[in-house]
Amino acid sequence: MSFASSGAGFPGNTFRIRHAVLAILVAIAVGTLGFHFIEGWSLWDGLYVTVQTVTTVGFGDVTPRTLAGRIFATGFMLVGVGVVLYALTSMVPLIVQSEIVAAFGQRRLARKMSKLRDHFIICGAGRVGSHLVRDLKRAAETFIVIERDPQKVAELTNQGVAVLVRDATLEESLREAGVGHARGLAACLPDDADNVYVVLTARDLNSRLHIVARAAEEQAEVKLVRAGANRVVAPTIIGGHRMAVALTKPAVGDFIDSITASQLDLTFEQVEVEASSSLARRKLSETNIRPELDIVIVAIRRSDGQMLFNPSGEQTIESGDMLIAIGHPDSLSKLNAVAKGTSSKPEARSQKSEGRSGAR
User: How many CA atoms, within 13 angstroms, populate the side-chain half-sphere of residue 66?
Assistant: 11
Ramachandran region of residue 186, left (φ > 0), alpha (ψ -120 to 50) or beta?
Answer: beta
Q: Are 143 and 120 in contact (CB under 8 A)?
A: yes
Question: Mean of the per-residue pLDDT values for the chain?
Answer: 83
3-state secondary structure of 61: coil
pLDDT over threshold 50, residue 348: no
Return phi, psi of residue 314, to 5°. Answer: -85, -5
Name which residue leads in pLDDT, 21 or 223.
223
- Residue 301 and residue 272: Cα distance in Å, rounded? 9
pLDDT of residue 107: 67
- Residue 238 and residue 245: Cα distance in Å, rounded? 11
pLDDT over threshold 60, residue 318: yes
Q: Which residues of 205-228 are buried (b: 16+ CB within 10 A; e: fewer)?
A: ebeebebbbbbeeeebbebbbebb
Q: What is the pLDDT of residues 29-51, one digit of tens each?
A: 999 999 889 988 999 988 998 88
C-alpha distances in Å from residue 273, one per residue of 103, 176, 298 = 44, 33, 15
Q: What is the mean pLDDT of residues 334-360?
A: 60
Q: What structural domains and CATH numbers belong to the chain?
A: 11-112 (1.10.287.70), 119-233 (3.40.50.720), 265-359 (3.30.70.1450)
pLDDT of residue 214: 94
Query: In which band, very low, low, confident or very high, does the pLDDT at 144 lie, cut at 50, 70 and 90?
Result: very high
Name which residue leads in pLDDT, 160 or 347.
160
pLDDT over threshold 60, residue 347: no
- Residue 304 and residue 68: Cα distance in Å, rounded? 93
